[in-house]
Amino acid sequence: MITVFSQSLRRWKWQIVGWGSVLLVITLYLMWLYKPMLEQQAQLKNLLDAYGKEMLAFFGGAVDLFSPAGYLNFGFFSYIPVVVGILALLLGAGLVAADEEKGTLDLILAHPIPRTALFWGRWLALAVALGAVLLLTWLGFALGLPLSGLDTTVGELLLPHISLFSVLILFAALALFLSLVLPSRTLAASVTAALLVASYVVTSLASVNDKLAPINNLSPLKYYQGGNAVDGLNWGYLLGTLAAALIFTLLAWLLFLRRDIRVSGEHGWTLSWRWAAKKG
């Protein structure tokens, strides 16, 4: 499992560095921007008031922009699950299916590696990769904090990242599960991306439309706290999201244990649930 874990991390090192460094620069810039924005508070308030509340809902709602939670939500945490979610779901959908589609998994699994070790080794590497990206993101906030004068601490800034991590892991797990059920990882990633965007839209609009409350209960992003987590984590939401991720991961693992390893051109590209039903 350690071999698989280290090889997977090595494979993703440039993605970690690329995503992490871009996000580090963005968060550093955001922190630097806080002071100038604070100086033009009045004009900005007028500008924001001109926008409809539906519009502001997509940026964390009509909250106090200059509070730590409001600013972090507006500038970063409200939309970032969709952005970094793309990385998470691509890694999840490709965790097993990428090698399967390339045809390299066949030879890997002809070696004495348990499927369980391969699966969990890669899953752990995925979690570490996402964690490393978020750590670099947090580093940007932490380095910029003294410049900003934002009324929060480095420790409190870590909390929204923990909430974000739980959501990213959930969408990665969903994509992984779908990649083992649907005929291709592209389809699995597309379906997961559609669900991610739908969740973002529903949860954002639910803050201004009460009729969306029932459907919002099913939206994963309802349980994402974003910048509000600087005031304290909702442990129920956090553990619930992680539990959902664990369920999808366990289902994916069980599917991976019992399924045939597909090789292109060998009649293996039917929906696996049909195959499973046939096997009964």
Partner 1 sequence: MNTSTTVLLAQGLTKSYGRVQALRGVDLEVKQGEIFGFLGPNGAGKTTTIRILLDLIRPDGGTVRVLGLDPQKDSLAVRARCGYLPGELHLEESERVETILRQFNAFRGGKADWGYVRSLAERLGLDLKMPARNLSKGNKQKVGVVQALMHRPELLLLDEPTSGLDPLMQQEVHRLIRGAKADGATVFFSSHVMAEVEQLAERVGIIRQGVVVEVAETQTLIKRALRRARVRFAGGFQAPALEGVRGVSLLSRDGDTLVLQVEGEMDALIKELAKYPVAEFETERPSLEEIFLAYYER
Q: Which residues bind partner 1 (CB under 8 A)?
A: 3, 7, 11, 102-104, 106-114, 258, 260-261, 263-268, 270, 274-275, 278-279
DSSP class of residue 5?
H
Nearest-approach distance from CB 114 to partner 1, in angstroms: 6
Comparison of 113 and 181: residue with beta carbon closer to partner 1:
113
> Rounded distance, CA 117 to CA 134, Å?
25
Nearest-approach distance from CB 184 to partner 1, in angstroms: 16
Nearest-approach distance from CB 257 to partner 1, in angstroms: 11
DSSP class of residue 261?
P
DSSP class of residue 225?
-
Please, are residues 91 and 172 in contact by the beta-carbon 8 Å criterion?
yes
The pair of structure tokens assigned to 19 is: 């995503």
Q: What is the DSSP annotation of 137-186?
A: HHHHHHHHHHHH--S--HHHHHHHHHHHHHHHHHHHHHHHHHHHHSS-HH
Q: Please report the beta strands in the chain, taking only residues with DSSP state E, as ranges in sequence order.
A: none
> Rounded distance, CA 31 to CA 164, Å?
19
The closest of 172, 226, 221 to 200, measured between CA atoms, is 221
Nearest-approach distance from CB 136 to partner 1, in angstroms: 23
Comparison of 9 and 142: residue with beta carbon closer to partner 1:
9
Comparison of 211 and 278: residue with beta carbon closer to partner 1:
278
The pair of structure tokens assigned to 33 is: 């921007």
Comparison of 112 and 214: residue with beta carbon closer to partner 1:
112
Comparison of 210 and 260: residue with beta carbon closer to partner 1:
260
Comparison of 105 and 130: residue with beta carbon closer to partner 1:
105
Q: What angle do CA 189, 195, 198 make, to 5 degrees?
A: 140
> Rounded distance, CA 109 to CA 100, Å?
10
Nearest-approach distance from CB 140 to partner 1, in angstroms: 29
Comparison of 211 and 279: residue with beta carbon closer to partner 1:
279
Nearest-approach distance from CB 262 to partner 1, in angstroms: 9
Nearest-approach distance from CB 22 to partner 1, in angstroms: 21
